[in-house]
Structure 1
């Protein structure tokens, strides 16, 4: 009896875990769609529960309150596999422009996949202290990731003389940071491909040594 019971328990636990994961995913998707449609400030936990087809206590138990939900959504971009893939490509690049293009393309893919979340988190940060703090943390992680590019350019001997790693990262943050893609793509309707090419060109012009070594 005990052997049979113990044999069934992992199966039941797996089914329970799958159900919980499905509920959590439904809640997160419902929250994001509501945030996009109505704005973060106007959406309630009750709204999210109704859209997800579950109860309010289930939302709190599965994901927490609105700020906690927003934190999970924000980290989708940070945790996207494209981030590590892009950094690996930058570190492996043997040509300076190829390194810049790899970074530009990877950042573009991450933003393209998560643009709705980016737009929501910027507006949410203005009304929720917890979201604002998480946005600063995400921005710091992202800025450190951008810093991999000037490190590689310096290793290749291609970084503009006199340009420090910190200053080069500042330039990349200005060009590839959260506001730039949102401005060009979401507000000015630039195509993603054109935006990627233009930003990569500006990064190359700002970071690379010229033909005369300057």
Structure 2
């Protein structure tokens, strides 16, 4: 009599699968950063990870699946949500903008490699572009929440508010100052906050704050 097949998965097998996936993601990250997403092929990822090409598809969903997995820590980051929650508790627009500066700074400092390299590349493949779009959408979602709070406060110029916040605190601002121009994150955060205050707050409120 044949014994029934067990549905129980061995912890050793799970550990091996996790190790394989980690090796694939690590290899892909290095290749993407060195050569650009579009220039890297799945067989090259497999060779660098020392696995079969099919294993890359089975374990990580191919090249676009690898990029999505690499961006997941960025998408899971709670810095923006924390800044938004704190912003709802203050009636000082300067403080709200300070929270926006600090929150976006934490995201860009923590995930600098991803945001300033992988996300800025043009992946070229629709599935991969969706992963990049998700990262940008997360940034806009957080800044939209900040904008909603600012609209509730007096002394704030609300014309094109979300676009203005994105200009000062979106990926291009941090990339331009820190990566391209070599600013420290401390200097960039201070300057972006001050510039946003000068742009968005009525002059009388700025004089009162000074």
Q: Distance in 1 between matches of 2:23 and 2:87?
A: 35
Distance 1:34 1:202 in 2: 37
| Counterpart in the other structure of 1:203 | 196
Q: Write 1 or 2 for the structure with the bigger share of helix.
A: 1
Among 122, 126, 144, the alignment partner of 1:124 is 122
Question: How many angstroms does 1:32 deviate by?
Answer: 1.1
**Cα 1:174–1:23, aligned 2, differ >3 Å: closer, same or farther?**
same
Q: Does 1:61 align with 2:61?
A: no
Alpha-carbon RMSD across the aligned residues, in angstroms, is 2.5
Work out the number of aligned pairs and report it.
Answer: 201
Q: In the alignment, which residue of structure 1 is the partner of 2:24?
A: 27
**5+ unaligned residues in a row in structure 1: which ranges?**
none
Instruction: From 151, 156, 166, give the equivalent of 2:153.
Output: 156
TM-score, normalised via structure 2 length: 0.82
Give secondary structure in 2 for the equivalent of 1:122.
Answer: coil
Instruction: Tell me the distance in 2 between the aligned counterparts of 1:28 and 1:16.
Output: 18
Unaligned runs of 5+ in 2: none
Distance 1:211 1:31, change over 3 A: same
Partner of 1:143: 140
Runs (4+) off by over 6 Å: none
Q: Does 1:74 align with 2:71?
A: yes
Bigger mean CA deviation after superposition, 40-49 or 170-179: 40-49
Q: TM-score, normalised by structure 1?
A: 0.81
